[in-house]
């Protein structure tokens, strides 16, 4: 059989295009901001992970420009060999101090971070236990590790304990969870995860891609939010969200960090973060440290939207983070509503299977510290109007 046959088979993508509700690859023609120009028209951006609004911060932009002038456009090699800049070391040191960890290792992307950490730590005789709603990069890191992966029901601590009880005493265990879950916006039950990890001799890793800059004191993330920084063994995160750049990191003990640096194939065999990406992440981190009120403003905007959507009779998935999902249930209804919102001037993301159950599709809206109440009210009024005139209902 031709290996390309799968490429020719009719798919949901083909059907979405035929129905004119295909939601992907809309082209931006302006900066990533609260309002953007996308395909020639103004859209209110409710689909970005730019939580602190730092992609347009003058200090962050200037840092990137100066880094290109000083170091050029790229490092042309891996961190392991010729690709380490003094600025990489500076970023790692400042981030470790901010997160109250001994050491940080930076990766070229967030996705690569999970691949690199899990595949290095989890060996053939080890087990890695994951929340079912963890990010795809965690799943791929587990596949790359050669260890055995077990999955527990989302935030179900009784199911997690059953998984832990099934692991042979001779095997190592790493429990991996998102801190803030990217689709639902809910927060992991980290206190109970840590308790169970200690009970069964497991180690813990938190993917804080959507937690850094969002929750915790000064935006320090999920472990800090629960007062568990000293109890979580590994914190992973990205620079592509709150820190307005590109790349990822692992924060841990010095010994674990050193082990990963020398055993992680995705780290050793990938080119390092570009000078501009590194400089922008470092500048954004310094903005966050200097302006912790950004985290408070983000929390205010998120609550303002939750209250506003409920007041407009719109059913949302409850959370306390800037991720506010709106129930739309069925795949093509979700895509149709998203298209109508886009045409009306509001950009949102569609959350579809396999990211959701087939009958639990969502419109994933997300918010920034830089949104103001006037633009949020405008967006919510548009959402209400589109949902009330829903022509996609089954």
Residues annotated as part of the active site? 182, 210, 241
Length of the chain in terms of residues written: 394
Q: What is the layout of strands, in order, in the sheet containing 103-107?
A: 103-107, 248-252, 234-238, 203-207, 173-178, 127-131, 148-152
Long-range contact set of residues 193-202: C-beta below 8 Å, sequence gap at least 24: 193/157, 193/160, 194/228, 194/231, 194/232, 196/157, 196/160, 196/161, 196/164, 197/173, 198/231, 199/164, 200/161, 200/164, 200/165, 200/167, 200/173, 201/173, 202/129, 202/164, 202/173, 202/174, 202/175
- Compute φ and ψ for 346, nearest 5 degrees: -130, 125
Question: Torsion-angle region of residue 20: left (phi > 0), alpha (psi -120 to 50) or beta?
Answer: left
Residue 367 CA to residue 380 CA, distance in Å, equals: 12
Strands 349-351 and 361-366: antiparallel
Does residue 328 sit in helix, strand or coil?
strand
**Chain-centre distance of CA 288, in angstroms?**
18
- Hey, how many other C-beta atoms are within 10 angstroms of the C-beta on 53? 22
- Locus of tokens 């840590």: 194
Considering only CA atoms, give the Rg of the chain: 21
Containing 337, the helix (H) or strand (E) segment is helix 331-344
Could you tell me which of 118, 164, 127, 129 has the C-alpha nearest to residue 147? 127
Residue 225 CA to residue 31 CA, distance in Å, equals: 31
Burial of 388 from C-beta contacts in 10 A (0-12 / 13-18 / 19+):
exposed
């Amino acid at each position: 059989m031709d290996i390309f046959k799968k490429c020719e088979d009719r798919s949901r993508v083909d059907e979405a295009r035929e129905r004119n509700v295909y939601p992907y690859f809309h082209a931006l023609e302006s900066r990533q901001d609260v309002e953007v120009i996308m395909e020639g028209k103004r859209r209110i951006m409710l689909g970005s992970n730019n939580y602190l609004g730092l992609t347009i911060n003058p200090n962050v932009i200037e840092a990137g420009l100066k880094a290109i002038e000083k170091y050029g456009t790229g490092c042309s090699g891996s961190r392991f060999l010729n690709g380490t800049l003094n600025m990489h070391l500076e970023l790692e040191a400042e981030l470790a101090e901010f997160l109250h960890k001994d050491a940080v290792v930076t990766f070229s992307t967030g996705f690569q971070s999970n691949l690199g950490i899990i595949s290095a730590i989890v060996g053939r005789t080890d087990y890695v236990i994951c929340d079912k709603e963890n990010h795809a990069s965690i799943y791929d890191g587990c596949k790359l590790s050669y260890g055995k992966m077990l999955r527990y029901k989302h935030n179900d601590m009784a199911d997690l304990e059953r998984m832990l009880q099934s692991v042979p005493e001779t095997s190592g265990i790493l429990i991996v969870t998102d801190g803030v879950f990217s689709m639902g916006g809910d927060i992991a039950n980290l206190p109970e995860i840590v308790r169970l990890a200690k009970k069964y001799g497991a180690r813990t890793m938190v993917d804080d891609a959507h937690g850094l800059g969002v929750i915790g004191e000064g935006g320090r993330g999920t472990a800090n939010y629960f007062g568990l920084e000293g109890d979580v063994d590994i914190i992973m995160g990205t620079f592509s969200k709150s820190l307005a750049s590109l790349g990822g990191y692992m924060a841990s003990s010095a010994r674990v960090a050193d082990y990963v640096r020398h055993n992680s194939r995705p780290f050793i065999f990938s080119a390092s973060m570009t000078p501009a990406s590194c400089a922008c992440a470092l500048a954004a981190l310094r903005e966050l440290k200097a302006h912790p009120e950004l985290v408070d403003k983000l929390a205010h905007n998120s609550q303002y939207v939750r209250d506003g959507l409920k007041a407009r009779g719109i059913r949302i998935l409850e959370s306390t983070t800037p991720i506010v999902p709106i129930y739309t249930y069925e795949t093509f209804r979700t895509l149709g509503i998203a298209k109508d919102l886009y045409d009306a001037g509001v950009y949102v993301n569609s959350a579809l299977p396999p990211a959701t159950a087939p009958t639990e599709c969502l419109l994933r809206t997300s918010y920034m510290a830089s949104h103001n109440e006037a633009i949020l009210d405008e967006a919510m009024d548009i959402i209400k109007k589109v949902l009330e005139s829903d022509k996609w209902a089954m």
